[in-house]
Structure 1
């Protein structure tokens, strides 16, 4: 539980991801615009110059015996980060005037959201839940979709982990709801403003590429141990994908449709609600689907911080070397993911097929 050491290892992962992302994105833009062929320097000459420069720098540093990064140019962040985490725990966890502490928020979220959803799912008879899953999948998909979703849900009962799976499902549904509310609102803001999108890009890079175990430590420091911090970790992990897909979908809306709406006197909110959101429906459905899948991927992480249910079974099986317990829980998670995928995404598949 050393947040500083974890962050010191996580930041280089983020920086490597940023380098690769920016490099490949720039190359893609050049190729797409045809600049690589029409620029003042041909691609072959550019690659040759880059290779010669790289070789010259490599030979120069070797002859100068400067292969290692200078020790005086480094800065250890572990101690300041750990002090910051300790400060958050001491000042934000509880006793904050008027708004209460983060522990109070976690308790309220568990009492008012997680518990009712879990109890409601577990109150339903097994056959009733199967009928609900089949109906939802059939309404937005095909009979094959409904059959696949129903069989996946029924397999959970066959595996003997029905109640833990519904507990996990309640956490996933709550995390997805929070992710979609924040993701859609942030995506709309980014789609409407280039400055907002540019400011969010490095933040989303960090959230999307930082290993989950790194930000799990401050989440636990803020929210304690339980299902609420597991949901918070899932939201942080899934939010970047939802924001980016939403932004891309809204920006891809036909400019002519927006211009027509503006010419008819539509306000900004009317353009969003009546033009952009309906035309970007397929992208929004994809954002929902990706949010569900990514949230479900953090179930195991939730088991490490008191999330219980299937995540705990997987962690327990790994820790005790009990393959049966871990494998059954893992198979149930796969079945949940298959069911949720069929329920949230088949509309796009069906629409695409008909359009073709």
Structure 2
């Protein structure tokens, strides 16, 4: 957004021009780099935790990579550093060492294939994707957005303060009141309500998906082992990479940003809910089953009610993750505050409006976080008193 060099600039420009192939190619490179860095740092943390780096002379087990590797690890690192320094010197001295090998045709092939798939999807799946987009937009988003933007600001503000007070207590209500007053002061009230509508719809979809998959993972160890690595990998990917495939399917619309936000926020909610369901005592579940409860009754009357604190935390994280996609969604037609921030970065005369929009996003985040965190604390306290 601020014209910094690198892959991010390539993806942003490709998204702005709806060039899915180029965006996919650059996004794939970002994903590969993110996965490599994540795996390397995770492995380093695991080795430190198991004592592998200091296995010699410590009496501790060398772990999975023990034996000769531990003995020669430092020598290999030193040799690798020397080789890298020599290669850097050669690349700054000789042209042949600085030239990139090959013609880079692989990237062009990937971009071309992505464009081909995009064209095929638009030609053959447009009916289904358009129906899904219109159903969510006309059935959920537009009515809720009209309710928020067409109602008097003071009435909507009073409702937000009341919701904060009821769910989170007096302190959350005061926080919501301060944030509402500042939102009015920024002059971005209408755009803030439009963003609030999109955020609320996306969060509802995130929680629906999170509850279904999270309960499945919490009840089935096999499902957890199969799904959790995919969720971990999804959390590694940079946010704007999620926009690329959905831009091909749904075009540059608000719904595209909502779907990307749902996919970005769903992994963390699924894992939180799965952990909450798994934490329900097995004896309680067995007692419910012995009393004649079926699977649906065990889930709805035992496991989910006893996981209320996890559900509240999942709502908190889902809201924050969805809201973090607002600016990214502004690149593909999400409008409202996200578009104002993007326009402020790209057009100097709109910098002030972009700054106000950024402040409005922060205020919405503070309000959401304050309400949901307070609600989570109150739920945890209630569950503690009951037990």
Q: Which TM-score band (shorter chain)?
A: 0.7 to 0.9
Map residues 50-89 of structure 1 onto 2, 5 A cutoff.
Answer: 51-58=70-77, 78-79=107-108, 81-89=110-118
Please report the RMSD computed on the Cα atoms of aligned residues, expressed in angstroms.
3.4
Looking at structure 1, the residues matched to 217 and 105 of structure 2 have their Cα atoms a distance apart, in angstroms, of 34
Map residues 195-344 of structure 1 onto 2, 5 A cutoff.
Answer: 195-321=222-348, 322-344=350-372
1:34 — aligned with what? none
Looking at structure 2, the residues matched to 246 and 136 of structure 1 have their Cα atoms a distance apart, in angstroms, of 23
1:15-64 alpha-carbon deviations (Å, 9 max, x no partner):
32234346546876x69xxxxxxxxx833877997653212333565788
Q: CA deviation at 1:196?
A: 1.4
1:138-166 alpha-carbon deviations (Å, 9 max, x no partner):
21222121111122122111110111111
Q: CA deviation at 1:268?
A: 2.3
2:375 — aligned with what? 347
**Are the counterparts in 1 of residues 253 and 333 from structure 2 also a CA contact under 8 Å?**
yes
- How many aligned positions are there? 347
2:90 — aligned with what? none
1:145 to 157, 172, 197: 172
Q: Does 1:8 align with 2:29?
A: yes
2:160 — aligned with what? 133
Q: Give the direction of change, closer, same or farther, for the CA distance of 1:81–1:180 in structure 2 (3 Å limit).
A: farther
TM-score by length of 1: 0.85
Q: Which runs of 5+ in 2 are unaligned?
A: 1-13, 15-21, 52-57, 88-99
Looking at structure 2, the residues matched to 43 and 142 of structure 1 have their Cα atoms a distance apart, in angstroms, of 51
Q: Does 1:91 align with 2:112?
A: no
2:145 — aligned with what? 118
Looking at structure 1, the residues matched to 123 and 208 of structure 2 have their Cα atoms a distance apart, in angstroms, of 26
Q: Give the direction of change, closer, same or farther, for the CA distance of 1:115–1:338 in structure 2 (3 Å limit).
A: same
1:173 — aligned with what? 200
1:17 — aligned with what? 38
Q: Give the direction of change, closer, same or farther, for the CA distance of 1:343–1:177 in structure 2 (3 Å limit).
A: same
Q: CA deviation at 1:204?
A: 1.0
Q: Give the direction of change, closer, same or farther, for the CA distance of 1:147–1:317 in structure 2 (3 Å limit).
A: same
2:188 — aligned with what? 161
Instruction: Give the match's secondary structure for 2:127.
Output: coil
Q: Which runs of 5+ in 1 are unaligned?
A: 32-40
Q: Give the direction of change, closer, same or farther, for the CA distance of 1:50–1:263 in structure 2 (3 Å limit).
A: farther
Q: Give the direction of change, closer, same or farther, for the CA distance of 1:166–1:113 in structure 2 (3 Å limit).
A: same
Mean alpha-carbon deviation: is it higher for 258-267 or for 156-165? Answer: 258-267
Mean alpha-carbon deviation: is it higher for 161-170 or for 205-214? Answer: 205-214
Looking at structure 2, the residues matched to 44 and 88 of structure 1 have their Cα atoms a distance apart, in angstroms, of 50
Looking at structure 1, the residues matched to 120 and 144 of structure 2 have their Cα atoms a distance apart, in angstroms, of 31
Instruction: Give the match's secondary structure for 2:304.
Output: helix
**Are the counterparts in 1 of residues 326 and 337 from structure 2 also a CA contact under 8 Å?**
yes
Instruction: Give the match's secondary structure for 2:228.
Output: helix
Mean alpha-carbon deviation: is it higher for 156-165 or for 187-196? Answer: 187-196
Looking at structure 2, the residues matched to 109 and 77 of structure 1 have their Cα atoms a distance apart, in angstroms, of 38
TM-score by length of 2: 0.79
1:325-347 alpha-carbon deviations (Å, 9 max, x no partner):
12100110011112222332312
